[in-house]
Amino acid sequence: MKSPPSNEELCASARRGDASARNELIENNLGFIRKTANELWSSQRELNSDLLLDREDLEQEGALGLLRCVDTFDPESGVKFLSYAAPAVRNAMLDSIRERSRTFEAQNIGSRISLESAALYGTGKTPEQLYLERESFEELHAALGRIEPRQRGYIEYRFGFDDEDTERTLTQTARHFHLSESRARATERQALDDVRLELPWWY
């Protein structure tokens, strides 16, 4: 039995103009879109009535944000499509709220997160710094505890979450785990993707 297409495969088809692939891409990620909409909607219940805002409005905006990533997603980057698109989904919802109210302050429910910083490119900051800006230290460690032990060990050693509390370079980490640098880089990307999906701000 043929397995269903992945987000990355659907994205490629949608980019070629396949309308059904675009619809299926939304369906595949509808659970995530709904969780994000519920988080934002629940965080400002009193404001919702003034703005005549409901969760379905946010879900629709989130779906549009997801689709806008189809043309900009780079499958060669090693980042999963949902990891890349998740900030755009949230940002689309936040933009919709801002448009409904001039007095809305983004810091009440979270600031915008750029696609570049979410993918850890072009920020000039380490992944550890990015995470600690968004989540408490306890939440980060809880997220680490929910990923595979091999990936957790890699992240803890690489970014100094182990007993020595010292951040290592990619080369040092690759040598420690007896990996090539390319393999270590791929392991790091996958581990960071998994950690992001476990952090509360993705829900």
pLDDT in tens, 96-134: 877 766 544 433 444 444 443 444 433 444 444 444 444
Per-residue pLDDT band at 78 (split at 50, 70, 90): confident
pLDDT over 70 percentage in the chain = 70
Q: Which has the minimum average pLDDT: 4-13, 70-79, 141-150, 175-184?
A: 141-150
> Hey, how many other C-beta atoms are within 10 angstroms of the C-beta on 185?
15
Q: Could you tell me if 15 and 71 are in contact, meaning their C-beta atoms sit under 8 angstroms apart?
A: yes
Range of the domain at 72: 1-122
- Cα–Cα distance for residue pair 147/84, rounded to 1 Å: 19
Select from 122, 157, 187 the last residue of a domain. Answer: 122
pLDDT of residue 40: 79
Residue 190: give its domain's CATH number: 1.10.10.10
For residue 24, pLDDT over 90 is answered with yes
Q: Are residues 114 and 16 in the same domain?
A: yes
Q: What's the CA gap between 108 and 184, in Å, rounded?
A: 38
Give the residue from 63, 94, 122 where a domain finishes: 122
**What is the pLDDT at residue 44?**
64
Statement to judge: residues 15 and 81 lie in one domain: yes
* pLDDT confidence of residue 91: 86
The model carries a pTM of 0.50
Torsion (CA) 77, 66, 15, 72 in degrees, nearest 10:
-40
What total number of domains does the chain contain? 2
One domain, residues 68 and 157: no
CB 119 within 8 A of CB 191: no
Per-residue confidence (pLDDT) for residue 132, from 0 to 100 = 44
Query: Which pLDDT band holds residue 57 (cuts at 50, 70, 90)?
Result: confident
> Closest by alpha carbon to 188, among 135, 152, 146, 136?
152
Listed residues 122, 140, 172: the one ending a domain:
122
